[in-house]
Amino acid sequence: MIKAYKFRTYLDKEQIQNLESTLNACRELYNAMLQQRIYAYRMGKKVTRYSQVNEIPEVKKAFPEFNNIHSQVIQEVPVRLDKAYDNFYGRVDKKNNGKNIKAGFPRFKSRKRYNSITYPQSGFKILENGHIWASKIGEIRMFMHRPVDGRIRTLTFKRNSAGEWYAIIIAGDPDKEQTIEDHFSILNENMNPTGYDVGLKSLITDSNGEHTEAPQYFRKSEERLVRANRNLSRKKKYSKNWIKANLRLSRVYRKTVRQRDDYSNKFPGT
C-alpha cells in the first residue's frame, strides 16, 4: 500500500529564499518546455519527455542558476508536463465518447499555479531528530507527528496559499496489496458493523438511526471572510498592502480547511 504523509516544515529565511528560487526556476522551465512542445507540434515534429530530459545539461550551461538545483528535481519537470499531456488526452477521449467535459489543454503556469517541487528518488533523507535533509537546501526543521511506514519513495515540498511550506512524503510497499479476504477479515472482527448515509439535512445518518449534524465551519467563518474580502477590495491590486490583505484572506480560508480535515479525520469510522 502506498501512503502520503504530510508534515509542516519550519524554514529560515535562507531556506525559504532557496525554495522560492527553485520553484520559480522550475516553473520557468516548465513553461519553456510547454512552449517547445507547442511549437514542435505546429512544425509537424514531436518532442517527448525523454528528449527534453536529455536537453537539461545544455540548459544548465546556458542558465547557471539551474546548477543550484538538485538534478532529479529538474528532471521531474518534464515528467510533470508529460502527466499534464496524458491527462489532457484522457479528457479528450472521454469527450469524444460523449461525456460533457472540457478537454483543457495544458496551460502555462503562473506563480500562483506552480507551488511544489519533487525529489522523485534521491537527494533527501529523514534524520534521527525528525527533521529532513534535502540536497541544495540543507537540514529543514520538520514537525514529524507520526512515523512513516514502508520505503520512502518521493519527497515533495509544497507551498500553500498562506505561504506555508509542507513536506509530503510518499512511502509504502506497492507489492503488498490488501485483498478481498483482508476486507472480510476486518468485517468479521466487528460483529456489529454500522452503515453510514450522507444526506442534506443531516451530514450523516447511521444504520442505528442516529443523526450527525454538519459542523458548518464555512458558515461560522463567513463574517471574517466578508471583512477580509472587503479589506482586500480596497487595496490597489498587487501592491504591498494588497499582498498583505490577500495573505490574511488566505489564512481565513486555511483555518476552515484545517477544521474540515480535522473533523473528517476524527469522525468515527474513518
**pLDDT tens across 44-60, in order?**
998 999 999 999 999 99
Structural domain range at position 80: 2-172
Collect all residues with Cβ–Cβ distance below 8 Å to 27 and sequence separation of at least 6.
Answer: 109, 111, 114
Look at residue 203 in the predicted model and tell me its pLDDT: 77
157 and 221 share one domain: no
- pLDDT bin (cut points 50, 70, 90) of residue 86 is very high
Quote the cell numbers at residue 19: 525554495
Asked if residue 68 belongs to a domain, the reply is: yes
Q: In what order do the strands lie in the sheet with 2-10?
A: 116-119, 152-159, 165-172, 2-10, 138-143, 132-134, 124-126
**pLDDT bracket for residue 209 (50, 70, 90):** confident
**Among the three residues 138, 172, 206, which one is the final residue of a domain in this structure?**
172
Query: Looking at residues 15-44, what average pLDDT do you find?
Result: 95
pLDDT of residue 91: 94
Count of domains observed in the chain: 2
26-30, 80-84, 218-222: segment of lowest average pLDDT: 218-222
Same domain, yes or no: 102 and 222 = no
Instruction: Please indicate, yes or no, if residue 200 is contained in any of the structural domains.
Output: no
Q: Do both 261 and 151 map to the same domain?
A: no
Residue 108 lies in a domain: yes
The reply to whether 38 and 141 lie within a common domain is yes
Domain membership of residue 209 (yes or no) is no
